[in-house]
Amino acid sequence: MRIFLSGLIVFCLFATTFALNIDALTPEKRSTFASDWLETGKAYYANKKMKKAKNCYLLANRLYPMGQVGEEARTLLKQNFDIRVEYNPDEQFGDYIKRAEKLTEKRYKLNNYLMALEIKQDNDVLHKVALLYLSLEENDKAKEYLQKALDAGFPEEKVNPSLKKLLQE
């Protein structure tokens, strides 16, 4: 029964992760999935399922490389498998921005920009996030991110005209 439940949990995790496009996941969901994959990897490792453990650690790092989960996944990969996965915040930030700019689906674009903001608060990215929220008719979020952009030094004269209306509300 225990093996069946473990298998069912892993199946559900795989199905959920791969049924969804990774770009469809918000930073919060990516962080949660990464944590789940890390714990699943630890369970596999404890049960001597090394290949599965390694793949779980790699996926945890891919889902959310910043923060404690990503750091722990990289440490376990290095200690247990002699695999070194580098994390360069500036490079990762750039990768999220490039990915966002290639995407056409607004939510996916937004999620990648939000992932970049998990690494570093950039006034231009904050402005882009405000615009995306506005286009998704989430005016409160748009206003929140516009204010963050301005607080981070985004020039008021460069604010998109459609966002300027929010400042007047």
DSSP string, 27-52: HHHHHHHHHHHHHHHHHHHHTT-HHH
Tens-digit pLDDT profile for residues 87-142: 999 999 999 999 999 999 999 999 999 999 999 999 999 999 999 999 999 999 99
Q: In angstroms, rounded to a whole number, what is the distance separating the alpha carbons of residues 147 and 167?
A: 8
Residue 92's CB: how many other CB atoms inside 10 A? 19
**What pLDDT, on the 0 to 100 scale, is given for residue 166?**
85
What pTM was estimated for this model as a whole? Answer: 0.85
Q: Which residues contact 30 (CB under 8 A, 6 or more apart)?
A: 22, 63, 64, 115
How does pLDDT run across 15-59, given as a tens digit for each residue? 555 555 899 999 999 999 999 999 999 999 999 999 999 999 999
